[in-house]
Amino acid sequence: MENEERPKSFIRTFIDEDLAAGQYTHVMTRFPPEPNGYLHIGHAKSICLNFGLARDYKGRCNMRFDDTNPVKEDVEYVDSILNDVRWLGFNWEDRLYYASDYFEKLYECAEKLIVSSDAYVCDLSPEEVKAYRGTLTEPGRPSPYRDRSVEENLDLFRRMRAGEFEEGQKLLRAKIDMNSPNLNMRDPALYRVKKVTHHRTGQKWVIYPMYDYAQCLSDGIEGVTHSICTLEFEDHRPLYDWVLEKLNWPSPRPRQIEFARLNLEYTMMSKRKLLQLVKENFVSGWDDPRLPTLAALRRRGLTPSSIRLFCERIGVAKKDSWIEIDWLEKAVRDDLNPKVKRILAVLDPIKVVIENFPQEVVEIVEAPYYPDEPQKFGFRDLKLTREIYIERSDFEINPPKGFFRLAPDREVRLRWSKYIHCHEVITDSTGQVTELRCTYSDEPRGLGQKSGKNGKKPAIIHWVSAAHNVRAKVRLYDRLFKTPRPTGDLQNELNEFSLIERQSAVLEESMAKIEAGQRFQFERLGYFIADRDYTDSERVFNRIVSLKDTWAKIRDKVSD
């Protein structure tokens, strides 16, 4: 399925052209996360893209941490990121790198830029730097420190490294063009003072390189050929090229290519927002199955292959857009469908007493686990007894038009078994249905009921024996936000029904001996996974995805 035919992406066209022109003889990419949060499905797109290109062009893809901003970084994130990339199915072999490994080399390059008069130490305060930069409509003004001598700059830069200056007092800046229409070229910062401990280099450094400066050089040092990043860096590309050019970087130099980041409807990828959701307890942690983090999707039960399939299907584009969540859900269903057994489970049970079914009888039905190809996963015995459970939503006391399932004086078929006809409804003092009294027959009786699509065959519903079953707790996950394109207003945009717990679900008896991590289709309900905390005494399942778009189902609730 992962080899579905798809048009060639513009990135592959670029690479093919570069190879044909002899610009490069091989392909080398990298995935460069900043270890300041957990990876999310947007990162998966970048991972699949970079590692996928390396695989298809028989090249290599490096794993590199862009750890140039020690304030927000942490080893906890490093570990989780490596784990997630591995889980997605990609392998960097022995090529795990850190931008911090290059700090000495980056420092030497900065001295070279000073010596060639392409960089200078600036004493303007952060506010002044901003004011001098100008705007999109106004040119910038040169810093009064722009024309310092090479000697003075070298001396000041070395003293910056030695810790003689405080944060905000001095900045190393590229000397480019304060009139450039591109703000990124108006003497951008290359190094700033930051007196913080780095998770790898400790207190060795008190100056840290800026992202733009570190990224192109890290790529250059590793021999990256195609440096793929998201669109917001398009305007940074001239700076990327400028740094390598000014340093006379040997050819072939890396080529930066930008693509549109993934925006997925009903969720948010911003690390800041994800952190807020976790820290303010809107969700239970980084792996709360409602989040778009890979840790959460893993716990929810998504397979790595379904995420790869999704990434492949959405492709890469040059223009930002939003992807409908259905694309992800469909990829998950398409991936799981041929891989898992189908079983019967009732999440919100109502008891049905089949009055003409003798108390002591257990009728065995041999049912295939995979109806389309019965031999695939074999068969199990279902046990029909006098008392069974059916889904509360499969019964309506006053059925609306278009409701074809069970109702008073109507008939349905039990999956793999008999027809039942409801002749009595028992309710409690609040009007809640507590029990249905039915009679069975081996053939539909057509007893004046109107069930069945187009008035034809009765609808088929799922059921579980009340005498032979296992109890479970089931968590039904839904979209985290109720607005398709959330802005981040957590008070108003979160979906209050994103988690519904069913405490007393019943599963067919064959589910008595399963293990954490096993996935199933519960017929008519969706795909489920035994949670990682599943035990024989606490059976907990997570719904991975429903069988169809449940929201569409709500829209046309009347059609079954």
Footprint of ligand ATP (CB under 6 A): 32-34, 42-43, 45-46, 229-230, 261-262, 269-271
Which segment (31-39, 104-112, 118-126, 506-514) binds Mg ion by CB under 5 A? Answer: 31-39
Q: Is 356 helix (H, G, I), strand (E, B) or coil?
A: coil
- 41 or 350: CB nearest Mg ion: 41
For the record, the structure tokens of 122 come out as 């600036």
By CB under 5 A, the residues from 92 to 121 that bind Mg ion are: none
Q: Taking CB within 5 to 8 Å according to partner kind, which of Mg ion, ligand ATP, none is near residue 271? A: ligand ATP
In the bound state with ligand ATP, the residue whose beta carbon lies nearer, of 125 and 270, is 270
Q: How far is the CB of 269 from ligand ATP (least distance, A)?
A: 5
Which residue, 287 or 509, is less far from ligand ATP as judged by CB? 287
Residue 328 touches which of Mg ion, ligand ATP, none (Cβ within 5-8 Å per kind): none
**Least distance from C-beta 99 to Mg ion, angstroms?**
12
Amino acid at 370: Y
Residue 289 interacting partner from Mg ion, ligand ATP, none (CB closer than 5 to 8 Å by kind): none
- Contact of residue 207 among ligand ATP, Mg ion, none (CB under 5-8 Å per partner type): none
Q: Name the DSSP class of 204.
A: S
Beta-bridge partners for 366:
381
Residue 98 makes CB contacts below 8 A (sequence gap 6+) with 64, 65, 67, 200
Identify which of residues 34 and 363 has a Cβ nearer to Mg ion in the complex: 34
Least Å from the CB of residue 41 to ligand ATP: 8
State the CB neighbour count (10 A cutoff) for residue 414: 22
Task: Output the smallest distance, CB 300 to ligand ATP, in A.
Answer: 19
Contact 158, 207 (CB under 8 A): no
| Residue 559: contacted member of Mg ion, ligand ATP, none (CB under 5 to 8 Å, by partner type) | none
Contact at 8 Å (CB) between 67 and 33? Answer: no
Separation of alpha carbons 494 and 488, rounded Å: 9
Give the nearest distance from C-beta 127 to Mg ion in angstroms: 25
Catalytically annotated residue among 112, 146, 261, 524:
261
Q: Residue 269: name its binding partner from Mg ion, ligand ATP, none (Cβ under 5 to 8 Å by kind).
A: ligand ATP
Comparison of 73 and 508: residue with beta carbon closer to ligand ATP: 73
The Cα 511–Cα 341 span in angstroms is 11
> Which region among 29-37, 122-130, 282-290, 549-557 touches Mg ion (by CB under 5 A)?
29-37
Side-chain half-sphere of 186: how many Cα atoms within 13 Å?
20
The answer to whether 313 is a known catalytic residue is no
Which of 34-42, 223-231, 257-265, 408-416 is the region at the interface with Mg ion (rule: CB under 5 A)?
34-42
> Which residue's Cβ has the minimum distance to ligand ATP?
42
What amino acid occupies position 105?
K
Neighbours of 380 (CB within 10 A): 17
The two tokens of residue 453 are: 């699509």
SS3 of residue 543 by DSSP: strand
Q: Any bridge partners for residue 387, and if so which?
A: 353
Tokens of 223: 């021999």
270 binds, among Mg ion, ligand ATP, none (CB under 5 to 8 A by kind): ligand ATP
- Cβ closer to ligand ATP: 114 or 239? 239
Structure tokens at 483: 């607005």
CB-based burial label for 214 (10 Å; 0-12, 13-18, 19+): buried
- Among residues 34, 128, 324, 493, which one is catalytic? 34
| Cβ proximity to ligand ATP, 47 vs 438, nearer residue | 47
* H or E element in which residue 184 lies: none
Q: Which two tokens stand for residue 27?
A: 């392909």
392 is catalytic: no
Burial class (CB in 10 A: 0-12, 13-18, 19+), 412: buried
Nearer to ligand ATP, 43 or 253 (CB): 43
32: cis peptide before it, omega within 30°?
A: no
Least separation in angstroms between residue 412's CB and ligand ATP is 46
Q: Which is nearer to ligand ATP, 312 or 508 (CB)?
A: 312
457 catalytic per annotation:
no
Alpha-carbon distance 266 to 480, whole Å?
6
Segment near Mg ion (CB under 5 A), from 26-34, 119-127, 141-149, 378-386? 26-34
* Annotated active-site residue in 64, 161, 237, 271: 271
Cβ atoms 196, 166 nearer than 8 A: no
Task: Please name every residue paired with 433 in a beta bridge, in sequence order, or none if there are none.
Answer: 427
Distance from C-alpha of 257 to C-alpha of 14, rounded to nearest angstrom: 9
Smallest distance from ligand ATP to CB 551, Å: 23
CB of 39 to ligand ATP, least distance (A): 8
In the list Mg ion, ligand ATP, none, the entry touching 52 (Cβ below 5 to 8 angstroms by class) is none
The single-letter code of the amino acid at 301 is G
Chain centroid offset of residue 431 CA = 43
Q: Considering only 28-36, 113-121, 151-159, 412-420, which stretch makes contact with Mg ion by CB under 5 A?
A: 28-36
CB of 315 to ligand ATP, least distance (A): 12
Give 200 or 236: the residue with its C-beta nearer to Mg ion.
236
Q: For Mg ion, how many residues bind (rule: CB under 5 A)?
A: 1
Q: Which does 182 bind (CB under 5 to 8 A by kind): Mg ion, ligand ATP, none?
A: none
Amino acid at 379: F
CB of 34 to Mg ion, least distance (A): 5
Residue 38 and residue 286 in contact, taking contact as beta carbons nearer than 8 Å: yes
Report which residue type is found at 90. Answer: F
Q: Which residues are catalytic?
A: 34, 261, 271
Give the binding site for Mg ion (CB under 5 A): 34
